[in-house]
Amino acid sequence: MTDPMLEKLVRFQHPDRTLGYTRSLTDSTRAALFGTDEDALRATMQHLDAQRAAAARELAADPQVAADLARVPFSPGQRLVAIGESATADRLSWFEILRTLLHSERPDLDLRLENLAVSGATTTQALAAAPALRRQAGDWVFCMLGSNDAQRFGTPDGPRLVSPTETLRNLREIRAQAHLGEHARWVWVAPTRLDEALVAQFPFFRAAAITWTNRDVAELTAALRNLEDLMIDTADATTGPDPFLDDGLHPSLATQKAIAARTLASIHIRHQINQPSFT
């Protein structure tokens, strides 16, 4: 068995993304940062990898997912890039599940997937990191940001970490600063709903006097619909059993699977309706 605290740290934290100046971290250095040894780190990584692989196999067995995988609108050799916060940085995230699915079920496409998400990031921090996004030159860029902006201090009506107006300004600017190529595609992925009761009860959030509301999530989702490019609504991804981790904020593996399936279905439908073919 793995240590639950170590698993949570390894699942959501990526020192190589937040400590870019270190260039290449060794397993020994990573283990030290997590307060463990190399064997425990490897065992934890393998445990998470096994969960992600199992989730991908379960999705691949779904006839609708299999059909969507067979007609994904990606061209061979394309680069898919994700930017976001913990819901995407998660080693069991929707994007990591898509990586596993595409590599196992569509090896013919030889796709390259790059996850730039950083747990805890606000849209302001993501905007500051825009040059890194530009260097990736993604053919498809998936952006799932805004949950951390909506953090409120004290009560559900308390001040927000980042105002709604600034959140939208930042998102538009991130999109502009990406400097996408002529045939590149941008996809907005709306943050998931949350369980307000679990959020209110979670000891860390209570001690820090911070909270989140579904009202803010709904307002952001509505605003994303008014932006250009495809927007994937994740609201129905949280309707299954046990949709969240114990904090009520982070999506469970079941929800991450649902977001991955929703993403595959949405990009296929949008491409069929009004997207030009890639050359």
Give residue 269's pLDDT.
66
Report pLDDT digits (tens) over 25-68. 888 988 998 999 999 999 999 999 999 999 999 999 999 999 99
Give residue 136's pLDDT.
76
| Single pTM value for the model | 0.93
- Distance between CA atoms of residues 44 and 42, nearest Å: 5
Give residue 132's pLDDT.
77
Distances 89 to 82, 202, 236, 261 between C-alpha atoms, Å: 9, 21, 21, 18
CATH architecture of 4-274: 3-Layer(aba) Sandwich (3.40)
Report pLDDT digits (tens) over 242-261. 999 999 999 999 999 999 99
Give residue 22's pLDDT.
66
Report pLDDT digits (tens) over 195-240. 999 999 999 999 999 999 999 999 999 999 999 899 999 988 999 8
Give residue 271's pLDDT.
52
Question: Has residue 183 got a pLDDT over 80?
Answer: yes
Q: Which of 34-43, 130-139, 149-158, 227-236 has the lowest mean pLDDT?
A: 130-139
User: E strands along 3-148, which residues?
Assistant: 79-84, 112-115, 140-144
DSSP H or E run through 185: strand 185-189
